[in-house]
Structure 1
Amino acid sequence: RYLMRHRHTTPFEMCELKLHLRLPMDCWRQWIRHRTASVNEYSTRYSLAIDAAQTTASDQWRLQASSNRQGSEGFLEHDKGKIFSVREHELHELARTVYNERIEAGLAREQARKDLPLSTYTEAYWKTNLHNLLHFLALRMESHAQLEIRTYASTIGSEIVRRWVPMVWDAFNDYMFHAMELSKQEIDIISRLQAGDADGAWDIAVQYGFLPPKGETIKFNLERGEIEKKLEQLGIRPPWLE
């Protein structure tokens, strides 16, 4: 716990884990962005593409988030979602049929695969050390991560890491995943609010560009939104929301 608390990461780098993954290609694209692992992926240039694709239940089609261009919020109505699930099935069937026709015609696998959808499953061996794995989990278990990769990450954390290194898992949750990191600006604002100086907190927010001067229209500010979420966790209501 001391090592985790004070970010002494070298001992965690001595622990290694190799996972055999099976996941859709669109999820794998996000996963492989973490360039701190050794990877050996199933090759559809050498082998036939895996005959499986991720499907979406009619009540699981998510709507585009209004405040986050790469996020989702809420679900499409079941009746409308049913239409998209049927179309999804038709698309998968067509893509697989065309792929199989190309293979049977003797076309090269490296070319026959090019129209398979991103929902097609791939497999990979993924080897990483504990330090980098925890960093991966901190990012991909977080609520803003895409649901599909968040589900994988949460399962790895709760079902594998927790059993493998239980003390590290508890320390990770206490000092990293469920902890809060504060910037200098955030500390300045919180200090003023805790001292009962709401005007001073407002002035600091203006000074740092999080708010316009009093009397002007308050517009969207990403960093201010992050501060507001942290204040909410601490049970503090910022004066500009009154």
Structure 2
Amino acid sequence: MPITPDQQAEIDALRAQPTQTLRATAPGIEGHLYKAYEVLDHGFVRVIDYMGDDSAIVQAARVSYGAGTKHVSNDAGLIRYLMRHWHSTPFEMCEIKLHVKLPVFVARQWIRHRTANVNEYSARYSILDREFYIPAPEHLAAQSTVNNQGRGEVLQGEEAERVLRLLRDDAMRSYDHYEQMLSQDGQQGLARELARMNLPANVYTQWYWKTDLHNLFHFLRLRADAHAQYEIRVYAEAIAAIVADWVPLAHAAFEDYRMGGATLSAKALDCIRRMIRGEQVTQETSGMSKGEWREFEGIIR
């Protein structure tokens, strides 16, 4: 169960007591406040708080750049200009705080995004729940033969059943031992901070994660990408859907310039210019390595 009865009661109570405020609010995200959106088999994402909206980005930019942006006549145009030219500070005027429940191995990927404030559930003080991420059969894949970081073909038949059985059995066995070590029935019981080291990386943890929009967009660009690991990508996709309602103009610019756009090297641009002039350009005449050329073809084809 992603949400406990106590958590649901807290959510219901918070949503039942709206309060008046003089601060700027974003109607699109107000509807998301406190709600839990299920991710994976036991995880969720929910918005706890936020600050700013599209107008806050525009306000900050016009203060910072003054007359330099007066030729941009509307908010959408200005935000697109800021995104196009890789400005960062105006987007940092917006912040969001999320409550996330996720497997430990996903959290260890996620924490690599260091430009955030994080407070994680502590297994030194509390006992973790018996909840583990077990992949759905369609996400149980072999190692890719072309990508050392990725997955290949989905496992089938007896092999898939064997792997799923091992994952479940190992998770349950480790938790049984965790409980046995903690138990004070006829023994002192091992300290929680030591007993936790026996738990596998697919056990669930929770944290509060607060970041600004500039760094959140960087997170989404990497983790909502099709090449990201599925288990973190689905969290990024859930967050992206919330961001689209929170700052629709900024999100549209982000989708256009970051998710849908491409960064080209000087050599790649030179190849495109040569192609436009009608020249036949190959990897051998491009000045690029085979890997660069393969990526370049993926962009222009």
TM category, shorter: 0.7 to 0.9
Aligned-pair CA distance for 1:57: 2.7
Runs of 4+ in 1 over 4 A off after TM superposition: none
Gaps of 5+ in 1: 211-220, 233-242
**Structure 1 vs Structure 2: percent identity of aligned residues?**
43
Aligned-pair CA distance for 1:58: 3.3
Q: CA RMSD in A?
A: 1.5
Q: Structure 1, residues 27-66: CA drift from partner, whole Å, max 9, x if none?
A: 1110000000000011101111232110123343112111
Distance in 2 separating the partners of 1:109 and 1:37: 27
Gaps of 5+ in 2: 1-79
Distance in 2 separating the partners of 1:80 and 1:209: 41
1:171 corresponding residue in structure 2: 253
2:149 corresponding residue in structure 1: 70
**Residue type of the partner of 1:72?**
R
Residue 288 of structure 2 corresponds to residue 230 of structure 1: no
Change (3 A) 1:54 1:132: same
Judge conservation of contact 2:283–2:293 (CA < 8 Å) in 1: no
Change (3 A) 1:4 1:209: closer
The two structures have a TM-score, normalised by structure 1, of 0.86
Query: Of residues 258, 265, 270 in structure 2, which corresponds to 1:188?
Result: 270
Change (3 A) 1:80 1:110: same
Change (3 A) 1:171 1:103: same
Aligned-pair CA distance for 1:209: 4.8
Distance in 2 separating the partners of 1:52 and 1:89: 11
Larger mean CA deviation between 72-81 and 17-26 belongs to: 72-81
Q: Structure 1, residues 101-131: CA drift from partner, whole Å, max 9, x if none?
A: 0000411011111110100001010000000
The two structures have a TM-score, normalised by structure 2, of 0.69
Give the secondary-structure state (helix, strand or coil) at the position aligned to 2:127.
Answer: coil
Distance in 2 separating the partners of 1:192 and 1:71: 34
Change (3 A) 1:74 1:102: same
**Residue type of the partner of 2:147?**
N
Distance in 1 separating the partners of 2:258 and 2:293: 22
**Residue type of the partner of 1:149?**
I
2:208 corresponding residue in structure 1: 125
